[in-house]
Amino acid sequence: MDTQQRSVTVGELTFDARIGGPEDGKWVLLLHGFPVNSSCYDTVVPRLHESGLRTIVFDQRGYSPGARPDGVDAYALDHLVDDALGVLDQLGIQYAMLVGHDWGGIVAWHLAGKHPDRFTSLVAASTGHPSAMRDALENSDQRERSSYIKDFIADDAEEKLLARKGVLLRRAGVTAAELEPLTAPGALTGPLNWYRANFTGNIAETLACPPVEIPTTMIWGDADAALGREQAQMSGRYAYSDFRFCELPGIDHWVPQHADAAMASEIALRSAVF
């Protein structure tokens, strides 16, 4: 099924987007994480089209070349949330199902919690509700798992992460093809600014998110080194509608790439009306 490339302008920023799927299908907005752009969903999206769903994916702030504002503050969470809403508005999409992985999951939880009138359901992969993450930091090994963040907010993070052909990112599971867009001059700064803007200062206040009142599925791979079971499973405490916890045995952090069939099935299942 054909996929259409689109440039979507929201304010002063222009995002690279792709739209595809049946014309009469329900809309699904898929939000990517760090450091891989929307290509992380390349093998998920065709499966969703086969399930009758219509998809919109876009390279978010810092990832689209036309959406790389200067300054750390430009990457605050509120801006990331507004970008997603702006893309939907520009495309004339009033309602959509919501999918997010990694940082895209954080944005998705906030969209679902703050704008439940725009989204029919949520599927989050790897990243649990921010309040569940707060709980896990206090009561599990999540603080140790998250220790890498201090390296991402450092002033020399770009240099270190791109050194020796990006060996640190490649060891974490990023492929050479996924790494390539980040090697352009300045291309990694925007993505890292997501961490710098939101994981410094009063982090609990910055990430604070209302409970979610739309049907929600939480997908988590039990081989995820960065995000533990507690923050994923305890997300059910902050999902007040139907909640499903889906554990994927043997799957690491990169759920869209390494469990595309399972992820697509969970999205299709959550999209169904019973």
Contacts of residue 202, defined as CB under 8 A and 6 or more positions apart, other chains included, come to none
What is the structure's pLDDT at 204?
85
Report strand pairing: 216-221 vs 119-125: parallel
Positions of the chain with pLDDT lower than 70, given as ranges: 1, 273-274
- The pTM score is 0.97
Copy the structure tokens of residue 103: 């940082």
Whole-number pLDDT of residue 48: 98
Phi-psi region of 213 (alpha: psi -120 to 50; beta: other; left: phi over 0): alpha
pLDDT at res. 1: 62
**How distant is the alpha carbon of residue 181 from its chain centre?**
18
pLDDT value at residue 151: 93
Domains of the chain from N-terminus onward: 3-271 (3.40.50.1820)
Residue 42 CA, distance from chain mean position: 14
Q: What's the pLDDT at 10?
A: 98
Q: What is the pLDDT of residue 53?
A: 97
pLDDT for residue 184? 94
What 8-state DSSP symbol labels residue 204?
Answer: H
Angle at 270 (CA atoms; ends 269, 273), nearest 5 degrees: 90
If we measure between CA atoms, which residue out of 148, 184, 146 comes closest to residue 169? Answer: 148
